[in-house]
Amino acid sequence: MAKTVGTFFLCLLTMTLVACGSADQNPVQENTTGNKAFFTPGTDCETHIIAAIKRAARIDVAVYSITHPDITDAIIDAHNRGANIRIVTDRMMAKNKGSLVGKIRNAGIPVLTNKKHKIEHNKFAVFDDVHVVSGSYNWTTNASKYNSENCVFFDQQNKEYTHRFEYLWDLYQQ
């Protein structure tokens, strides 16, 4: 009897693992309500950031570095479909080899770099003044492929990230 029960549970476990293994391991979330955390290495952060960019009409981005071509293309595509996009980034990182900030600027997207702080080390974006992604995740290919980083999606309660972005935007325009 014990062997039969053990075999049953082993079969059940195997079927569950097979079923889970065939499911999409990186589903694109349909919305960002509630907290969702993702980790690298892996494509979860980039996949969910790109999905959020594709859905949003207004996007404010404050990131240290942008070298990820798929994220860059999503930003430019969003701009071309009429989304209102502004980007704040680090001045030294924007000049680095591999930076795609020039491509973003050439597409007509407003980009400001830090003038008052030593480093612009924020890593967040606000989508439609509500949805936020933040964390250690740099918008780079290396972050997805090699680094141990994270991104968290959530809805801001008191527009803290919107206020911070506005502060940085105003500060770096001076």
Catalytic positions, written as ranges = 121, 123, 128
* Amino acid at residue number 33: T
Phi, psi for 72 (deg, rounded to 5): -60, -45
- Cα of first residue to Cα of last residue in the chain, in angstroms, is 79
Spatial contact of 40 and 143, defined as CB atoms under 8 Å apart: yes
Spatial contact of 105 and 30, defined as CB atoms under 8 Å apart: no
d(CA 42, CA 111): 28
